[in-house]
Amino acid sequence: MSSQPHHDDLSPRLRALADLMPGTMRDGPGMHEYDGKVADTSPDGIRDALSRLGGDALADAHDEAHLTAFEQGVRHELGELQLHRSNPLQHLWELDVSGYDREYAPAAERDAARIAHLAEWPRVVDNAIASLDRVPAPVAQSLLGAVRGVADGLPDDIPADVRDPALAAHARFVAHVERAAEEGPRSAGLGTEALSRLMGIGEAVEVDLADLAARADTERDRLRAALAEATGRIAPGRVPMEFARELTRQHPGADGVLEAARRWTALAVEFTAERELVPWSDGECRVDVSPPSQRWATAMMAWSGPWEADTPSFYFITPPDESWSREEADEWLEMFSHTTLPAVSVHEVAPGHFSHGRALRRAPGQVRRALHSMTFAEGWAHYAEEMCLEEGFGEYAAERLGDPEWTADHFEIGVWVEALIRVTRLSVAIGMHTGTMTVEEAAARFAEDTPLQGPAALSEARRATFDPTYGRYTWGKLEILALRERAREQWGDGFDLGRFHRALLDLGSPPLGLIGTALERG
């Protein structure tokens, strides 16, 4: 479907993985030879695809370990845990056509790919219904909005002979998930052993959940103390979280969020380039509203992939749902407050995900450009927030804004608030999937330990049901910070941030257990 080349030189092992997850390869690395194509996620299709994984070892030891970790991770997710039978998200990815909106190719070519993809929807839904026989009710309830939304916003000019069968299939998918929401098992917990293995195997590391939970508690205590110190400079004597919540209630209206995000994007990109924090500060990043199928996330980056022409990347912002009350909309918009939106923008854009995407385009070798650890990717972007605080982004932004109502302390508070949300995700994911926490208790935990309230707190809690590894942000950040200290010790006077970041990003987006290669080769 694409004028961009089919990569006949892709190694057989990498091709077998790519064939198993065409949507991931299309929208992450930018392998548009998979435009209009979907995976067979039926039980037989998954078994057949898994049987084709593996093969001859690669010459580079790091890349071999990287590729092996991904193969083992997929075997565990789909072979042992069989998540395609319990998680609609596995199938939702196969329906998602939002990636064709991004301008990676001429509009006519992308339109044709979208039509070809929509023509596959009946088959995707048949496979989904054949597989999804054990969906927990909490997972179905949490994903219903995204399942319904995947069909929103389709262009009006889709031919009727494609649109009608596609929408009929989508309606069957929605009905199936709705039944699971009513009739499915009441517990979404994976169990301690399954969560530990799910988190670790694809990251080439063994995970001790008790130890990780203790590290999360220690990090929460550090963040609370840092927040108290920062709020104390602005509002001495005030309760830190109470004052932070007061700050997060100061936000742009729904019609002003995009413009505010564009302003912070420009400042983050300028600062990152001036301080030479990452190897590459080129490319274009646009800010726009999230596609309907992606609105389970508050904000996200869709970058220009390593395998495609150098086209704009997109920083997507999710607006409040039109069905919400004014109070609910205001609570949602608190996530884009004048205090937190700067940190969110650093995370999503520079030196976070957008900058990472620029480095991925230059990563050596097919494995590093194609296979992206989300624990590293989210850990890197979360690390970028605190690193920018250390490097003085708050002062830099305050000077350029010239707004007496916004100071460097506001950026610092925003960084700690965002970090508290991330560390709460880690604690909630462990608690929910080891059976010590319900969705309602998780929402209460978010409401207690972060400024999030109402639908925002509930949305974060529900995400743990279908995204059990979403504690990856804090985990990844902690491992990168630990590696940075090792680099300081080993490199001595030869250490600087630019060198460390280049060595790390030269690995692409590696499994977390392999990041030590940066010290060996950097």
Q: How confident is the model at residue 1 (pLDDT cuts 50, 70, 90)?
A: very low
Give the model confidence (pLDDT) of 387-405 as tens digits: 999 999 999 999 999 999 9
pLDDT (0 to 100) of residue 321: 77
pLDDT at 254: 77
Crossing angle of helices 61-74/12-20, nearest 10°?
A: 30
Task: List Cβ<8 Å contacts ≥24 apart for 293-297.
Answer: 293/92, 293/95, 293/96, 293/97, 293/98, 293/146, 293/149, 293/150, 293/152, 294/96, 294/98, 294/146, 294/318, 295/145, 295/146, 295/149, 295/321, 296/142, 296/143, 296/145, 296/146, 296/459, 296/463
Residue 112 sits at φ, ψ, to 5 deg, of -65, -40
How does pLDDT run across 19-68, given as a tens digit for each residue?
999 999 999 999 999 999 999 999 999 999 999 999 999 999 999 999 99
Q: pLDDT grade, residue 4 (50/70/90)? A: low
Inter-residue long-range contacts of 437-446, CB under 8 Å, 24+ positions, other chains counted: 439/138, 439/142, 439/188, 439/464, 439/465, 446/421
Section 439-448 average pLDDT: 94
Alpha carbons within 13 angstroms on the beta-carbon side of residue 59 total: 3
Query: With 60 as the cut, is the pLDDT of residue 267 above it?
Result: yes
Nearest CA to 375 out of 299, 280, 473, 462 is that of 473
pLDDT of res. 7: 61
Please check the confidence at residue 182 and state whether its pLDDT lies above 90. Answer: yes
The DSSP line for 130-177 is: HH-S---HHHHHHHHHHHHHTTTT--TTS-HHHHHHHHHHHHHHHHHH
pLDDT of residue 454: 85
CA separation for the pair 267, 265 (Å, rounded):
5
State the residue for tokens 């949602």: 332
DSSP state of 452: -
- Give the CA distances from residue 365 to residues 12, 58, 91, 345, 362, in Å, rounded to whole numbers and listed in that order: 14, 11, 29, 29, 9
Q: What pLDDT, in 10s, does the model give residues 233-264? A: 999 999 999 999 999 999 988 788 999 999 99
Q: Look up residue 107 and give its DSSP letter.
A: H
Query: What percent of the chain clears pLDDT 70, i.e. is strictly above it?
Result: 97
Buried b (16+ CB within 10 A) or exposed e, 382-402: bbbbbbbbebebbebbbeeee
Q: How many CA atoms lie within 13 A of 501 on its CB side?
A: 25
pLDDT score of 381 more than 80? yes
Least confident interval from 99-108, 123-132, 227-236, 461-470: 99-108
Amino acid at the residue 5: P
Residue 301: helix, strand or coil by DSSP?
strand
What per-residue confidence (pLDDT) applies to 85?
A: 98
Least confident of 6-15, 106-115, 149-158, 507-516: 6-15
Mean pLDDT of the chain: 94
| More confident position, 8 or 51 | 51
pLDDT at residue 516 greater than cutoff 60: yes
Cα separation, 7 vs 33, in Å, equals: 8
Rounded Cα gap, residues 305 and 31, in angstroms: 8
Alpha-helical regions (H) of 392-470: 393-401, 408-433, 439-449, 454-466
Please choose, from the candidates 295, 472, 287, 467, the residue with its C-alpha nearest in 3D space to the C-alpha of residue 383: 472
CA–CA dist 345, 73 (Å, integer): 30
Inter-axis angle of helices 472-491 and 374-391, nearest 10:
60
User: To 10 degrees, what angle do helices 408-433 and 393-401 make?
Assistant: 130
Residue 150, φ and ψ in degrees, nearest 5: -65, -20
Per-residue pLDDT reduced to its tens digit, 76-99: 999 999 999 999 999 999 999 988
Please tell me whether residue 317 adopts helix, strand or coil conformation. strand
Contact 216, 430 (CB under 8 A): yes
pLDDT of amino acid 290: 82
Closest among 483, 307, 522, 77 to 69, alpha carbons compared: 77
Integer CA distances (angstroms), 52 to 7, 27, 129, 344, 380, in order = 18, 23, 24, 40, 32
Cα 285 to Cα 269: distance, rounded to the nearest angstrom: 9
Closest listed residue to residue 336, CA positions, set 279, 395, 259, 394? 259
Q: Residues 290, 367: contact at Cβ < 8 Å?
A: no
Tell whether the model's pLDDT for residue 339 goes beyond 90: yes
pLDDT of res. 213: 96
Domain ranges of the chain: 12-188, 209-521
pLDDT at position 6 over 70: no
279-321 residue pLDDT tens: 999 999 999 988 765 665 678 899 999 999 999 999 998 888 7
Q: Which of 361, 205, 352 is nearest to 277 (CA)?
A: 352
| Model pLDDT for residues 312-336, shown as the tens digit of each residue | 999 998 888 778 888 888 877 888 8
Angle value at C-alpha 414, between 324 and 319, nearest 5 degrees:
25
